Amino acid sequence: MRFVSKWGAYTLLVREPINVALGAGLVEQRQSPIYTHFKVGGLLPHERQLAMETFAWNGQPHEADEVTMVPPDHRISVWDSETCGLPPDELELAIEKLRSYAIPKGDVIEIPATMLKPPWPRYAEYSGSPSALTRKLVDEGYDLDVVLKDERATENREPIVKALEEKLLGGDREEEVVG
């Protein structure tokens, strides 16, 4: 899950700290804060395009010619749930907070998960054998790399994944009908 902000090195407080005052001026922290730290860079092309279409870029600087605008790429930052280092329970809380914050404020957008299209509309309901499926895909000219990525991302049926991998590696054996 990835989120993009129009502000460089953006930080959002997910959970407030809870501090309890003790005697003699001491303070005990009962709940530690959780922050989401966005990082500048690491933006994928489709994420940049979505950010450019979504955000308003007020106050853009100009090049030395005073006409050419500087692209705002140095201002765009990214938060990635896979690399943030939060434990699973805090990660769920952070994603929930970012989703709720992205809607009203407009400073953050959620990058939609890109799903690959299946080879045909009812591909997931195919009931033949894995070898019959790979033959059908090859005969009809489908790109097996794309089908394999889609299979792993959506259905992840082990026999079909294995058959597609074997076909791609060239280690498949054609069944020969005798008779």
Residue pLDDT, tens place only, 86-126: 999 999 999 999 998 887 778 899 988 765 677 777 888 88
**For position 15, what pLDDT does the model report?**
94
User: How much is the pTM?
Assistant: 0.61
Which spans in the chain are helix H?
Answer: 45-54, 88-105, 130-139, 144-153, 158-169
pLDDT at 92: 94
Spell out the residues 6+ positions from residue 62 whose beta carbon is closer than 8 angstroms to its own.
68, 69, 70
Poorest-pLDDT segment among 86-90, 151-155, 163-167: 151-155
**Percent of the chain whose pLDDT exceeds 90:** 32
